[in-house]
Amino acid sequence: MTRIYGDEAELYDIAFDWDVAAEADWLVERLGPACRHVLEPGCGTGRLLAALAERGLEVTGLDLSERMVAYARERVPDAHVVVADMTDFDLGRQFEGAMCAISTVSLLSPEGFARHLDAMARHLEHGGRYLVQQGLVGDAADLWRSEWEAERGEVRLHVLFEALGRDPVLPSERSRSRVEILSGPRAGEIVEDLHSTTYWTPETWHAVVDASPFVQAACHDGSLPERPAVELHSGGYLWHELVAP
């Protein structure tokens, strides 16, 4: 596990601290009025858990990082948050709905994602929605780069995430993250990680989902405010609406 996704929970939370209110409203709408208990695998520091709890849902999260789980528990005291591997877990109950944001499933291999979907199907009631945010790329897609600044209190960060290359055989993507602490008690420190993730094309995504217990009911373009349903295609910010058997 890399530092930014494991040990550096506070830096991660500051770096990705954008307003999730509109997204949380949409998630509640898509999960439907019958969904009162929602599961988030790969919950990180609990930003979306908190937003969904504020909207009246009972929330459960899991993450592989003990520090992320501790941060999420402090943020959402009423949530049930556990340390667990999202490819192999047993919470002893089922949920009416689930969601997984910011391309978290790209941290899994295709085989790991298949195991994850099996585990999620065991934890969702019949017909329960699983909303998964994961971008898809074409084979000839350009390498991406994202750079921004973030701050909270006296801490100010310069954040860079960039793709370095792709191996279409695996298929895997190499990327780098660099978080420079510009001010605050740790000013001058740099947290830099190399990442190896799965990159998904429409074809490889279809293959794993079609072989899973789930049915893909819709794909939504998360880059637009209304998040309309679209045909499954390459795009950087797609929400996949999967339905449990």
Same domain, yes or no: 116 and 155: no
Same domain, yes or no: 119 and 234: yes
Same domain, yes or no: 66 and 187: no
* Confidence at 236, pLDDT banded by 50, 70, 90: confident
Same domain, yes or no: 61 and 152: no
Same domain, yes or no: 180 and 225: no
List the CATH number of the domain containing 34. Answer: 3.40.50.150
For residue range 94-140, list pLDDT tens digits in order.
999 999 999 999 999 999 999 999 999 999 999 999 999 999 998 66
Give backbone dihedrals phi and psi of 48, rounded to 5 degrees, phi first. -75, -30
Same domain, yes or no: 7 and 102: yes
Same domain, yes or no: 16 and 34: yes
Same domain, yes or no: 206 and 158: no
List the CATH number of the domain containing 186. Answer: 2.20.130
Same domain, yes or no: 152 and 194: yes
Same domain, yes or no: 20 and 115: yes
Question: Is residue 132 exposed (0-12), middle (13-18) or buried (19+ Cβ within 10 Å)?
Answer: buried
For residue range 31-83, list pLDDT tens digits in order.
999 999 999 999 999 999 999 999 999 999 999 999 999 999 999 999 999 99
Same domain, yes or no: 68 and 117: yes
Same domain, yes or no: 206 and 225: yes
**Domains held by the chain: number:** 2
Range of the domain at 86: 3-137+201-243
Q: What is the mean pLDDT of residues 152-167?
A: 97
Residue 162 pLDDT:
97
